[in-house]
Structure 1
Amino acid sequence: MHFQQSGPDAGAGDPPPGRAGSPRTILMVDDHVLVRAGLRSLLGQRFGDRFPLAEAASLSDALAWLKDHAHEVLVLLLDLHLPDTRGLAGLQLVRQLHPSVPVIVVSGLQDARIQDEAALHGAVAYVCKTGHEASLHALLERVEAIATGVGPPRAASPPRAARPLDDRLNKRQVQVLELILSSHDNQAIAHETGLSLGSVKNIVSSIFLVFNVRSRAELIGLFSN
């Protein structure tokens, strides 16, 4: 996890002091170094003297940091294609773990269907990172609107399974849940995690118990509504 804080009093690599009720960090989650560098420059020029920036190259890194710092986040900028998640599964998991954190999807996918689905899953905005001036301007204006309180409110809680999961799932269970939501079967999860097939089956069963479901379809349905 890489953290960058702006401001003359910022210590290199030190996170800003958390202040409940006063979210102030912009968290960028993207695995491409050049994309993060571009966003860092763009956001720094507009918000550098107001909000520190945090960066993560994977969803797991972002979730690890959010576990203790979610209350500090003004907005999370999320790519849909990361090393450890694909499609809307990452958005779904962030929304379930941290329903109060506003998420703006920043993706290279210009697909109206995906944009609509992202909105249904709780994204407050969807911006295409095409590099066009209009897209970049739209991103800045969305962040500004959230910062000033005149844009989308802090994201509403999902209708089901809305209680934060940090106290219900351990790190390995969260990892397996994420892969289930990405449509991985048990064999694929075993390959991805390095676990034995038997261990994967046991973890999947424990996740079913946590959410009181009896099938993958039922579990995925909790995160799709």
Structure 2
Amino acid sequence: MPELRLRRTILSVDDHELVRVGLRQVIGQHFGERFHVAEAHSLEQALRFLEERTDEVFLMLLDLNLGDTRGLAGLRLLSQRHPRLPIAVVSGSNDARVRDEARAHGAVGYFCKTGDTGDLKGLLDTIERAATGADAATDEAPATHGDALARSRRLRPGIRLSDRQVQVLELILGGLDNQAIAAETGLALGSVKNCVSTVFLAFNVRSRAELIGLFV
């Protein structure tokens, strides 16, 4: 119980001050003095804050496009370094594909800054659930990519992938895009694309989000 009382901080990460101020005001209006809202304007600043005060934070509100990161890279890095911290994305994009991929990478919610009252209600509900521990990570050890591959074979018996395709699958599950996979493996970008297409075909999916969703 003492640990729950300490975790009353929401970390709002956005490079636009007006957005941070707006979120702080909305949270204050709905929750009063229950929570403290800390702020960071960059991924680097958020990481420094968590290094020093991670035990206080029960939820992060993260913009995907910051001055020092773009797209899902920031979400992936934060999830890797702080796997037990729930992260809700608050983004200017209402792209369904981005929303699905963010959720596939562990986001507990995705809310559009320019959305309707449904986005606002969803955000407030997510804050309440995170505060009560409903979205907290379990104590189970994270599955390895090898475990994920074994599960995939149970999902689709008889699946056949080469060693290289298995390696690409593992990197996709780790959140890497094609360019990063090419750098990691030393393959040409065209070869990476061919491997990714083969993996998609093997699992009968059309996107990274669908593929990752098989292993969640």
TM range (shorter): 0.5 to 0.7
- Are the aligned partners of 1:79 and 1:106 in contact in 2 as well (CA < 8 Å)? yes
Corresponding residue of 1:122:
106
- In the aligned structure 2, how far is the partner of 1:92 from the partner of 1:157? 18
Corresponding residue of 1:152:
135
- In the aligned structure 2, how far is the partner of 1:58 from the partner of 1:34? 14
Compare CA radii of gyration and give the structure with the larger one. Answer: 2
Q: Percent identity?
A: 48
SS at match of 2:84: coil
- Are the aligned partners of 2:84 and 2:136 in contact in 1 as well (CA < 8 Å)? no
- Are the aligned partners of 1:96 and 1:158 in contact in 2 as well (CA < 8 Å)? no
- In the aligned structure 2, how far is the partner of 1:56 from the partner of 1:157? 30
Structure 1 gaps of 5+ residues are 1-18, 162-180, 186-207
CA spacing shift, 1:133–1:26, aligned 2, 3 Å? same
- Are the aligned partners of 1:59 and 1:84 in contact in 2 as well (CA < 8 Å)? yes
Using the size of structure 1 for normalisation, the TM-score is: 0.61
Among 68, 76, 80, the alignment partner of 1:92 is 76
- The correspondence of residues 186-225 of structure 1 with structure 2, limited to 5 A, is 215=186
Amino acid of the residue matched to residue 32 of structure 1? H
Amino acid of the residue matched to residue 153 of structure 1? A
Using the size of structure 2 for normalisation, the TM-score is: 0.63
Provide, for residues 10-41 of structure 1, a one-character-per-residue CA deviation record: whole Å limited to 9, x for no partner: xxxxxxxxx64542110000001111111010
Among 35, 53, 66, the alignment partner of 1:82 is 66
Quote the RMSD (CA, aligned, Å). 3.2
Among 10, 14, 18, the alignment partner of 1:34 is 18
SS at match of 2:110: strand
Q: How many residues align?
A: 158
- Are the aligned partners of 1:146 and 1:152 in contact in 2 as well (CA < 8 Å)? yes
Corresponding residue of 2:162:
none
1:44 maps to 2:24: no
- Are the aligned partners of 2:63 and 2:90 in contact in 1 as well (CA < 8 Å)? yes
CA spacing shift, 1:114–1:89, aligned 2, 3 Å? same
- In the aligned structure 2, how far is the partner of 1:41 from the partner of 1:182? 36
